[in-house]
């Protein structure tokens, strides 16, 4: 099972859910380039100017680790990255789990994604105004002083650590991509996992994803927010477990 994090965070997001599958599966978690402990030097603005670059990274990980019959669990934008991988490499992914997916965030005349392009610009502005905070949050990495009360906080700062420049481009790519047409080409059984109240990916968007996929079931969790794997990890794990065991 490969667990892929979404925009704004890193592999730590899966720390409540992924371990529950370790008894039955080989469990892989990873950071996209720019997030967590990834090698920032590997970032290539051209490669990551579309989700395809991230999809190729997933394929490279699977190939390097010689994975097969992969259950790919993708949160948020990674749900679409998983779809791209399934299309590009038929046979690599056996089952796909999409947690809070959205194939397009901005509205069109006939489609309701939930956001306007102005909203997305505002998000980018929001990232910029946290730019300074992020840089300084990345700086302190003081370890090993048990008598320092601030240690716990300093260590935990490393969760969701993201390079601000890369995060900005990832945000742009994430929130301006349109993968609606790709969904019909996903040839593997897919679980759409959805919170009942999620402003990033509302239930109506989850339903659109389920309708557009050839072979999909949808489970609406009694959870709120965009990260059920953090706010309701047991429910999330149960729903994934029920799907992978069918």
Partner 1 sequence: MSSGDPLGVNPAGGESGLELDDAELYADAPCGYLSTRPDGLLIRVNDTFLGWTGYRRDELVGVRRFVDLLSVGGRLYHETHFMPSLQMQSAVREMAFEIVCADRKRISVLVNSTLKRDAAGQPSAVRTAIFLATERREYERELLRAMQRAEESEAKANLMARTLQATLVPPAPPTIPGLDVGAVYRPAGSGEEVGGDFYDVFQVAVDDWAIVVGDVCGKGVEAAVVTALARYTCRAASVEHGRPDGVFQIVNEVLLYDGDKRHCTAALMRARRVDGAWHGTISLAGHPAALLRRAGATELAEFGTYGSLLGIFPLPRFTAESRRLESGDVLLLYTDGVTEARQGDSYFGEERLHRLLVEVEGGAQEIADLVVDAVLDFQDGNPRDDIAVVVIQVP
Binding site for partner 1 (CB under 8 A): 6-9, 12-13, 15, 76, 115-116, 118-133, 153, 156-157, 159-160, 162, 175, 197-200, 224-227, 230-231
Question: Is 229 noted as a catalytic residue in this protein?
Answer: no
Instruction: Output the smallest distance, CB 118 to partner 1, in A.
Output: 8
Which C-beta is closer to partner 1: that of 33 or that of 216? Answer: 33
Q: Please count the other Cβ atoms lying within 10 Å of the Cβ belonging to residue 23.
A: 7
Q: What is the DSSP string of 45-102?
A: TTGGGSHHHHHHHHHHHHHHTT--SEEEEEETHHHHHHHHHHHHSTTTEEEEEEES--
* Euclidean distance between CA atoms 160 and 227, whole angstroms: 13
Which residues are paired to 14 by β-bridges? none
CB contact at 8 A, 100 and 226: yes
Question: Is 5 noted as a catalytic residue in this protein?
Answer: no
Active-site annotation holder among 12, 163, 198, 229: 198
Q: Which helix (H) or strand (E) holds 228?
A: helix 228-231
Phi and psi (nearest 5°) for 219? -125, 125
Which C-beta is closer to partner 1: that of 219 or that of 230? Answer: 230
Instruction: Output the smallest distance, CB 80 to partner 1, in A.
Output: 15
Instruction: Output the smallest distance, CB 37 to partner 1, in A.
Output: 15
Q: What is the DSSP string of 192-207?
A: EEEEEE-SSS-HHHHH
Which C-beta is closer to partner 1: that of 15 or that of 185? Answer: 15
Q: Which helix (H) or strand (E) holds 174?
A: helix 164-176
Which C-beta is closer to partner 1: that of 91 or that of 117? Answer: 117
Question: Is 226 noted as a catalytic residue in this protein?
Answer: yes
Active-site annotation holder among 38, 76, 78, 102: 76
Which C-beta is closer to partner 1: that of 157 or that of 178? Answer: 157
CB contact at 8 A, 70 and 77: no
Instruction: Output the smallest distance, CB 141 to partner 1, in A.
Output: 15
CB contact at 8 A, 10 and 34: no
Instruction: Output the smallest distance, CB 110 to partner 1, in A.
Output: 21
Which residues are paired to 194 by β-bridges? 220
Catalytic residues: 76, 198, 226
């Amino acid at each position: 099972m490969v667990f892929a994090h979404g925009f704004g965070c890193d592999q730590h997001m899966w720390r409540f859910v992924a371990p529950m599958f370790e008894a039955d599966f080989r469990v892989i978690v990873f950071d996209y380039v720019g997030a967590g402990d990834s090698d920032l030097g590997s970032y290539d603005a051209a490669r990551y100017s579309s989700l395809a670059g991230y999809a190729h990274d997933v394929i490279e990980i699977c190939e390097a680790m010689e994975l097969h019959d992969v259950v790919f669990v993708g949160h948020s934008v990674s749900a679409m990255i998983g779809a791209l991988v399934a299309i590009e490499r038929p046979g690599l992914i056996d089952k796909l789990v999409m947690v809070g997916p959205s194939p397009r965030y901005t509205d069109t005349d006939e489609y309701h994604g939930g956001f306007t392009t102005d909203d997305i610009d505002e998000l980018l502005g929001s990232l910029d105004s946290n730019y300074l905070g992020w840089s300084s949050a990345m700086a302190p990495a003081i370890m090993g002083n048990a008598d320092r009360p601030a240690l716990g906080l300093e260590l935990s700062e490393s969760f969701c650590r993201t390079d601000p420049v890369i995060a900005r481009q990832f945000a742009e790519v994430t929130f301006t991509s349109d993968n609606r047409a790709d969904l019909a080409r996903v040839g593997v059984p897919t679980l759409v996992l959805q919170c009942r109240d999620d402003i990033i990916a509302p239930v109506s968007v989850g339903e659109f994803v389920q309708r557009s996929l050839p072979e999909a079931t949808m489970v609406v969790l009694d959870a709120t927010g965009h990260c059920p794997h953090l706010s309701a990890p047991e429910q999330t794990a149960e729903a994934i477990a029920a799907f992978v065991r069918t």
